[in-house]
Amino acid sequence: MKKLYGTALAACAAALVAGMSLNANAQAEATDDPEQVVRDLYTAFEEGDMAAIETLIAPDATWTYYGPPSALPFGGVRRGPEGVGDFFAKVAETLDNPVAGQTRFLVDGDTVIVPGFEESTVKKTGIRYRADNVHIFKVRDGKIVQFEEFIDSGKVLLAFQGDDSVAVGKSAAAAVATPARAEGKIDKSVGKALFTTCVGCHGDDGQGRAMMYAPNLTGLDSVYITRQLENFRQGRRGKIEDAHGFPMVGRATAIGDAENLAAVVRYIGALPDAPAAKVAQRTAPAGLAGQLATCATCHGQNGEGNAQMGGPAINTLDSDYIALQLANFRSGIRGYDENDGQGQLMAAAAAAIPSDDDVVRIAEHYGR
Amino acid sequence: MPNNARWSRRHLLKAGAIASVPLATGIGGCSIFSKPTAGSKAAALQAKIGGTVVVKSDAAYEAWRKAMIWQLAKADRKPDMIVQATSTADVQEAVRYAAKNGMKATTRCGGHSMAACFLRDTGMLIDIGHLDGVEVDKATKTAKVGPGVFSRGLSERLLEDGLAFPGAHCGTVPISGYLLGGGVGLNANEWTHGLSVFGVKGIDIVTPDGEMRHASETENPDLFWAARGGGPGLFGVVTQFHLQCFDAPGVIWGDTYVLPYTALSAVTDFMRDTVPTLDRSVEVLYAVAAIPDKSKDLPAEERFQIFLDVNAFAKDEAEGRRKVAAITNHPVTSLAVDAIRDRAGSYDRYYSDNEAGFPQAHWMGDSIWVDDPTEAMRIIGEALPDCPAPRAAPLVLYTGEQDQPDAAASRYAPYYIACYFEWDEEADEAPSRAFSRELFKKLKPIARGSYINEMDQEGRPEDVPDCYSPEAWARLAQLRKQWDPTGVFHDFYGQA
Ligand SMILES: Cc1cc2nc3c(=O)[nH]c(=O)nc-3n(C[C@H](O)[C@H](O)[C@H](O)COP(=O)(O)OP(=O)(O)OC[C@H]3O[C@@H](n4cnc5c(N)ncnc54)[C@H](O)[C@@H]3O)c2cc1C
């Protein structure tokens, strides 16, 4: 028995948690199993792990997106890892915020069939489309030798041609900006429904509850919230030693699929911001100028956050919460996973703080 | 398929070429902002409240319905209307509305009911999870607490004033349904006659006429009687609890022992013979759990372990050590294959440790009260190796011989025995439920009834009355007639 938790019920945990994402997320090792190879590829895409992509795609693989290359730059047939690189380069040139999800993995011998969806905004027209798709992979000797994407490319084409009859979310995006009640409009979104489970810890309006050790969520960058939810879901945050983070593994997992995740993040993003600490009016703690400069690089001069750098606002967090997270980063309880790049950066930065006292002083400088 | 495969929908992006693509901004755009159809039922109520009214024709209805249930197994019942209240005034409007329109109402707070007994196929579901106030009066050691406050949050808040209240063993259980059904709480043996609800000194309740009333021993005493235990069949919505609090322990001193499954009868004997001799403030429970990754083909001794957990609510370490000495010196603990000893615990530690034992999973539970755990554990021990649920955990807790005040909570015996079943794959659900039902049918004749809050109401609806004494069950029915003559509120789950 490796681990022993504090109570009998918790100890059942050893049994109960097994099979939850913690265990299931053990790093994939090289495998010949077609389904695993395909899953590894999706993971590699998600991590932006080019090296892994190169090893997973056979040099002579064909990569096909059914659609006219003349109108859809990523359409047509490509070859090998380079071809795949070119495919994504074209995606990046023409699309904003591409998101995709997989609903199932169906295996038939060496063939893996993955129904899913893709949603992206066409840069030149600003139209966001959403289309269901099916990816069909053929795997040989642990490498992908053939990929085909069947998608409603007619819809994609219309989005490229500026026909906004295919647009999704235009009105919704606008509505997010206006408080729901203002025009007598009631938010009954999926995101609000899902947030029901969040309120007990994070508060009715996401403002946080110190008595539940749960931080304020308002005013945080949506990219950051999404990343953290994914971290919890993928075992990159919230290990069992992270007493107040661990519960989030179950909660983040229970949110459900990528659409639900996006919906709850969008709902949180639209909540009114809780007041931030007036950091600018505070005297910086003595002797920590170097440390504070490091913080400012990613979190902004006054802890307001820097989306470009992926650094969340910290001036809207309680100082106790900041101190706890810094301690977690210092002790390997957070930022321990090599796939949590930003977390690892934070772990390195937190390790450089001279003492535990200084951790508290920094937390008090930025926090509420 | 690994469990997480069904939940993690990875984003296909962030390949090297597009490494800077942000993940979330503008993901998908189908948030459902809409006015209720003018003149519809929903619109009339929505116009009056600050909360949210959702009806079956709303695009996000299914998400709302499912969000009401905390766990992952989502009972397939569909109320006509879901009202998420954000104030007590919202609750009053909703109840008046239900009364006027002949919609039967139920209440949902944390949605932790394992049977989702609040979810019915008709009528209105009133979600009160947002009612979250806490007001502490240190001088009188009392607190006014909103139903949506979680057990963990309440204990942390009370600690600030040196106080405590027997909350649930799992921190994310809100006090609402937990208290109204009885409340098998931390240190309830010492503080509240074995059930936390006896620490409730008053309630504020919206009655079927939409009025807000206070109920206590002296004011509307019959309503108070019903609310102390009648929870899942209550004809009203409780919007605030008035709690009697207690001096917070300086430490929760304890040990946890891991014992081989072969020690099951020895541990049960110890529970029966030794634990009742201890100070009331020593809470002892044990649970049986499968050792992860052991094949079902192995003999039971190799598949299961027993976790014996001891927590003394004490002033300080010395008192804690004294209180648990009879356990630390007991031969049963020498059978332990592993142990945590001399734990200087706290509420924070307790709730943190307990979190993993109660994952937000697909699960169900059932329970009984018994005077002596021996026979029940023999029956459970015999059945356990054939349990089809991937994870099953029987638990025995000693809650003390008690002399309880008269209240709807009328089923009680010193030993609380519950079994929890957890599964991942849909195929395991029906067999797990059938196994539980059969097991508890066997246990019923030797039990002193079941605990309504952890009873398999869906599987054994015919035994719901057995969560109450015959007198209390009859009185609940009579009070329902008196307070709710037109039936604004649904009856207990599965009852005509
Ligand atoms: C993880 C977990 C751990 C648990 N641990 C414990 C424990 O240690 N001890 C214990 O005793 N129980 C425990 N339980 C069981 C728990 O007490 C019940 O599930 C209880 O119903 C939870 O309260 P709730 O507010 O979530 O109720 P809900 O599930 O929301 O509602 C259940 C029923 O209570 C009634 N109800 C709830 N609130 C009100 C109200 N304000 N006014 C009128 N009626 C109302 C409704 O009729 C409803 O049908 C646990 C459950 C879970 C899921």
Banded pLDDT at A178 (limits 50, 70, 90): very low
Nearest 5°: CA angle at A200, between B10 and B51? 95
Residue B257 falls in which region: left (phi positive, over 0), alpha (psi -120 to 50) or beta: beta
Q: Which of B112, B114, B203 to mutate to test the pocket of ligand 1 (most atoms within 8 A of CB)?
A: B112
Check pLDDT > 50 for residue A11.
no
- Mean pLDDT of all residues in chain A? 85
**Interfacial B residues in 395-424 facing A (CB < 8 Å):** 395, 420, 422, 424
* Partner-chain residue, chosen from B129, B153, B422, that has the shortest CB–CB distance to A16: B422
Banded pLDDT at A269 (limits 50, 70, 90): very high
pLDDT of the residue at A130: 83
Write out residues in chain B with pLDDT < 50, as ranges. 1-39
Is the CB of B180 within 6 Å of ligand 1? yes
List the single residue in A with minimal CA-CA distance to B15.
A48
Which residues touch B253 (CB under 8 Å, ≥6 apart)? B311, B312, B314, B317, B319, B320, B321, B323, B324, B342, B343, B344, B345
β-pairing, A143-151 vs A57-65, is parallel
Mention the CATH class of domain A278-368: mainly alpha
pLDDT of the residue at A60: 92
* Partner-chain residue, chosen from A16, A103, A262, that has the shortest CB–CB distance to B359: A16
CATH topology match: A7-168 vs A278-368: no
Q: Retrieve residue B407's tokens.
A: 């209240």
Q: Please state, in angstroms and as integers, the Cα–Cα distance from residue B60 to each residue in A129, A183, A263, B22, following that order.
A: 20, 20, 11, 26
- Residue B27 and residue A178 in contact, taking contact as beta carbons nearer than 8 Å: no
Nearest 5°: CA angle at B311, between B307 and B314? 170
For A283-300, what is each residue's pLDDT tens digit? 999 999 999 999 999 999
Where do the domains of chain B lie? 251-467
d(CA A346, CA A298): 10
d(CA A110, CA A35): 9
The β-bridge partners of B203 are B215, B241
Is the CB of B207 within 6 Å of ligand 1? no
pLDDT of the residue at A29: 57
Q: Please state, in angstroms and as integers, the Cα–Cα distance from residue B275 to each residue in A86, A305, B267, B313, B396, following that order.
A: 71, 55, 10, 15, 12
Q: Is B169 part of the contact surface with chain A (CB cutoff 8 Å)? A: yes
List the single residue in B with minimal CA-CA distance to A83.
B17
- Residue A365 and residue A299 in contact, taking contact as beta carbons nearer than 8 Å: no
* Partner-chain residue, chosen from B22, B53, B67, that has the shortest CB–CB distance to A197: B67
For residue B91, give the nearest of B144, B33, B40, B148 by alpha carbon: B148
CA of B444 to the centre of ligand 1 (A): 22
Ramachandran angles phi, psi of B79, nearest 5°: -65, 155
For A132-151, what is the mean pLDDT? 94
pLDDT of the residue at A362: 97
CA of B360 to the centre of ligand 1 (A): 14
CA of A247 to the centre of ligand 1 (A): 19
- Residue A269 and residue A187 in contact, taking contact as beta carbons nearer than 8 Å: no
DSSP character for A280? G
Is the CB of B176 within 6 Å of ligand 1? yes
pLDDT of the residue at A186: 86
Where do the domains of chain A lie? 7-168, 187-274, 278-368
Q: Tell me which chain B residues have a C-beta less than 8 angstroms from the C-beta of A128.
A: 26, 29
Q: Is B285 part of the contact surface with chain A (CB cutoff 8 Å)? A: yes
The yes or no reply on domain B251-467 and CATH 3.40.462.20 is yes
pLDDT of the residue at A81: 87
- The number of beta carbons lying within 10 Å of the beta carbon of residue B211 is 12
Record: fold of A187-274: Cytochrome Bc1 Complex; Chain D, domain 2 (1.10.760)
- Residue A227 and residue A219 in contact, taking contact as beta carbons nearer than 8 Å: no
Residue of A47 and B60 predicted with greater confidence: B60
- The number of beta carbons lying within 10 Å of the beta carbon of residue A275 is 12
Check pLDDT > 80 for residue A16.
no
Residue of A105 and B1 predicted with greater confidence: A105
pLDDT of the residue at B292: 86
Nearest CA to ligand 1 atom 38: B177
d(CA A223, CA A229): 10
For A202-250, what is each residue's pLDDT tens digit? 999 999 999 999 999 999 999 999 999 999 999 999 999 999 999 999 9
Mention the CATH class of domain A7-168: alpha beta
CA of B467 to the centre of ligand 1 (A): 15
* Partner-chain residue, chosen from B16, B70, B293, that has the shortest CB–CB distance to A197: B70
Is the CB of B167 within 6 Å of ligand 1? no
pLDDT of the residue at B8: 20
Instruction: Please state the three-class secondary structure of chain B as a single string.
Output: CCHHHHCCCCCCCCCHHHCCCCCCCCCCCCCCEECCCCCCHHHHHHCCCCCEEEECCCCCHHHHHHHCCCCCCCCCCCCCEEEECCCHHHHHHHHHHHHHCCCCEEEECCCCCCCCCCCCCCCEEEECCCCCCEEEECCCCEEEECCCCEHHHHHHHHHCCCEECCCCCCCCCEHHHHHHHCCCCCCHHHHCCCCHHHHEEEEEEECCCCCEEEEECCCCHHHHHHHCCCHHHCCCEEEEEEEECEECCCEEEEEEEEEEHHHHHHHHHHHHHCHHHCCCCEEEEEEEEECCCCCCCCCHHHHEEEEEEEEEEECCHHHHHHHHHHHHCCHHHHHCCEEEEEEEECHHHHHHHHHCCCCCCEEEEEEEEECCHHHHHHHHHHHHHHCCCCEEEEEEEECCCCCCCCCCCCCCCCEEEEEEEEECCHHHHHHHHHHHHHHHHHHHHHCCCCCHHHCCCCCCHHHHHHHCCHHHHHHHHHHHHHHCCCCCECCCCCCC
Nearest CA to ligand 1 atom 27: B177
- Residue B418 and residue B374 in contact, taking contact as beta carbons nearer than 8 Å: no
Q: Are A243 and B348 inside 8 Å of each other by CB?
A: yes
For A322-343, what is the mean pLDDT? 96
Block residue for tokens 């597009």: B18
ipTM entry? 0.90
Q: Is B334 part of the contact surface with chain A (CB cutoff 8 Å)? A: no
Q: Which of B69, B176, B489 to mutate to test the pocket of ligand 1 (most atoms within 8 A of CB)?
A: B176
Q: Tell me which chain B residues have a C-beta less than 8 angstroms from the C-beta of A209.
A: 153
pLDDT of the residue at A47: 67
For B182-219, what is each residue's pLDDT tens digit? 999 999 999 999 999 999 999 999 999 999 999 999 99
Count of CB pairs separated by less than 8 Å, A with B = 366
pLDDT of the residue at A276: 94
Q: Please state, in angstroms and as integers, the Cα–Cα distance from residue A201 to each residue in A17, B177, B255, following that order.
A: 21, 17, 29
Check pLDDT > 90 for residue A89.
no
Residue of B143 and A94 predicted with greater confidence: B143
Determine whether A136 is exposed, middle or buried from the number of CB atoms within 10 Å of its CB (0-12, 13-18, 19+).
middle
Q: Residue A15: helix, strand or coil by DSSP?
A: helix
For B332-383, what is each residue's pLDDT tens digit? 999 999 999 999 999 999 999 988 887 888 999 999 999 999 999 999 999 9
Residue A287 falls in which region: left (phi positive, over 0), alpha (psi -120 to 50) or beta: left
CA of B179 to the centre of ligand 1 (A): 7
* Partner-chain residue, chosen from B25, B154, B311, that has the shortest CB–CB distance to A97: B25
